[in-house]
Structures are given as C-alpha cells and as structure tokens.
Amino acid sequence: MIKGVIKRKIISHNDKRGFFREIMKNDKKYTEVKFAQISHSKIKKSIRKGWHIHKKQYQWNYLIKGSIKVSLLDLRKKSKTYMKKINFYVNEKNPIIYFFPPHIGHSYITLKDDNHMIYGTSGTYSKDEEYKLPFKNV
C-alpha cells in the first residue's frame, strides 16, 4: 500500500426495489479531510486518464458503472513509500471508494464501453492546482 491511500469497500443494502449505498461522508471513519467539489465523468472504453497529480487537493474516486484498472504512484519525496506504485481493478461487482492525498500520481484505463466515475476533491477545480506527467516517465 501507499502511505495515505485508503480503499474502502462499499456496502450495498439490497431489497426488492434495488439497493442503497453510502459512498462519501465527511466523517472521521473515512478521513478528516472535507470535500469541496463533487464531479461526474463519463469515459468511453480504452481511455487512459492520467498521470494527474494534485499539489494541494485530496481526492476520492467512486466508479458508478463500468470497469477500470487504477494505478497510483507516490511522488512525495519525503514519504516512506516514495516511488511505490500500486495497481488494482474496480468494477460494478467490486464497489469501492479510493482516496489519495496530494502528490500521489493517479491514472486509470477504462475496460468497458460505458464507464461513469464520481469523484470528490477537497478543493474546487483549478488547472494551476494540478500537473501532469506523460505515462512513459513513470
């Protein structure tokens, strides 16, 4: 694992009408970091997003629909897990939310035709708050 990264399994409460899931809470069980913006992204198949790196923002990601392969990379030079990379899969059958702090490179590739991601950030969008690295650099 990478220091500061959290993966939480989402519990589904099913009944004859469907299901209910709690995804994000401003609650110490999840993290003490509060979110300021919630966004929704629809992504087609075989799209690679990343490497995105936030300078100050924390981020939570939840895949509503589809399947993705996630990669996270610790770019914090003073971290005990500096340059450690982890990969994992997220899909509708494995509902999780994952959280990462600033200076964690994040990317994913979509594996299905129709993918929907909800993500929350601790700040509001600003192109000056993030930077990108080409995939070949890491």
Q: Does 26 have pLDDT greater than 80?
A: no
Nearest to 81 by CA among 109, 57, 101, 54: 101
Q: What letter would DSSP give residue 68? A: E
Domain residue ranges in the chain: 6-11+34-125
DSSP code of residue 2: -
Residue 57 or residue 35, greater confidence: 57
Q: Which CATH class is domain 6-11+34-125?
A: mainly beta
> Is 35:121 a contact under the CB 8 Å cutoff?
yes
Q: 20: helix, coil or strand?
A: strand
**Tens digits of residue pLDDT in 68-80:** 999 999 999 999 9
- pLDDT value for 93: 86
Of all residues in the chain, the percent with pLDDT exceeding 90 is 74
Query: Does residue 119 surpass a pLDDT of 80?
Result: yes
- How confident is the model over 56-79, as a mean pLDDT? 96
Of 6-10, 73-77, 103-107, 111-115, the least confident? 6-10
Q: What is the pLDDT of residue 135?
A: 72
30-34, 52-56, 80-84: the lowest-pLDDT one:
30-34
